[in-house]
Structure 1
Amino acid sequence: MQALYDDSRSKLYVCDYQGNVVGCALVSLCSDVMFRKQPFAVIENVIVDVAARGLGVGTTLFQAIEMFCVSTNCSRIMLLSSSQRLDSHAFFEKQGFKGAVKRGFVSIVLHLLVQGKVLTSALNNAALGRWTRNKLLAV
C-alpha cells in the first residue's frame, strides 16, 4: 500500500462511511506517445458496497478521479468492465463514459513458478481455463 501511496501516477480513492469502507477506485496515469507523452488515465477496481449503491458513493469517486485527471492534464479517461455488468455500464454512462466508442481486449498475465523458476505467460481466457483444469498453475 505504501508503494501505491508514494506513486504520483496512481491514486487509490476510498469512500468511508462511519468507519467502514463503502467504495473504492484506482486510477493510474499512462504516458501517451501519440500526444507528446500527455497522460491518459485508466480506472480499475471500482467497487461500491451493495448497501451503499444509489447513495452517491460511486459518483463521488468518479468526481475525485476526474479532478485528479484534469489536474494532471489527461487526454482521456478509460476503464474496462465485465461485459455482463449491465448495471455498472449504465452507471459509467451516467458518469459520461461511452461504451460504444472503443472496444477493449484483455489478456491475462500469469507468473508461474515451475521448478523454482518464475515464468511469465500471457494467456487468453480459454488457455487459462485449460491450465486451471490441468492444475498446471503453481504460484
Structure 2
Amino acid sequence: MIIREAEKADRDQIFKLYKMLVPNSKKMTVIEAQIETIRKDPTNFLLVYEEHGELLGTVTLNICLQAQHGFRPYGVLENIIVHEDHQGKNIGLKLLQYVEEYCRSVDCHKIMLLSSSTRERAHYFFDRAGYSGSVSKGFKKYL
C-alpha cells in the first residue's frame, strides 16, 4: 500500500474512479497534461492510494492562502473516492489521515470539504473521521 501523487500514467484508473463518483457525467474528462500540471504545483495535490499496481482511491487537496489567520493556509478536499469494490477497508480513512498530516506540516488551520447532499454513507464516514457537517453550509455555482 502506498499513497502518492498521481502521475500521467494513472489517467485511465483515475477516470474509472471518478466515474464511480459521478457515473452519469457527460462532461468529465481527465487529461494527462492536467495531472502533470497539478503534480508540479506546490499547493495542489492529486493523491492516489495504490495497492499492487491498482488505484483503489483518490483525493484532491488544494492548499489555499488567506489573510484572516496570519500566514496560516487552509486545505480544501475534493473528489474523495474509494473504489466501490474496496469500500470499508479504511482506504478513505488512510487518505484523510495522509492529507491531515500534510496540512498540519504546512500549518493549515482547517480542512474543508463538500459532499453531495444525497451521499449519506459518505456523510457518516466524514463525521466519524472528525469532519462536522453542522458547522457550515456549503454552496456551489457551476459555471
After TM superposition, the score normalised by the length of structure 1 is: 0.76
Matched, 1:45 2:79: yes
Cα distance in 1 between the residues matched to 2:92 and 2:103: 16
Structure 2, unmatched stretches of 5+, are 1-34
Q: Percent identity?
A: 33
Q: Which has the larger radius of gyration?
A: 1
Matched, 1:96 2:130: yes
Matched, 1:17 2:81: no
Q: What pairs with 1:78-97 in structure 2 (closer than 5 Å)?
A: 78-97=112-131
Question: Cα deviation per residue 1:100-126 (whole Å; 9 max; x = unaligned)?
Answer: 0111100112xxxxxxxxxxxxxxxxx
The number of residues matched between the two structures is 109
Q: What do you get for the CA RMSD once the two structures are aligned?
A: 0.9
Secondary structure of the 2:94 match is helix
- TM-superposed CA distance for 1:37, in Å, is 3.8
Cα distance in 2 between the residues matched to 1:97 and 1:32: 21
Secondary structure of the 1:93 match is helix
Secondary structure of the 2:121 match is helix
Partner of 2:40: 6
Partner of 1:106: 140
Which has a greater percent of strand? 1
Matched, 1:73 2:113: no
Structure 1, unmatched stretches of 5+, are 110-139
Cα distance in 1 between the residues matched to 2:106 and 2:49: 22
Q: Relative CO higher for 1 or 2, CA cutoff 8 Å, sep ≥ 6? A: 2
Runs of 4+ in 1 over 3 A off after TM superposition: none
Cα distance in 2 between the residues matched to 1:37 and 1:10: 17
Partner of 1:60: 94
- TM-superposed CA distance for 1:12, in Å, is 1.6
Partner of 1:114: none
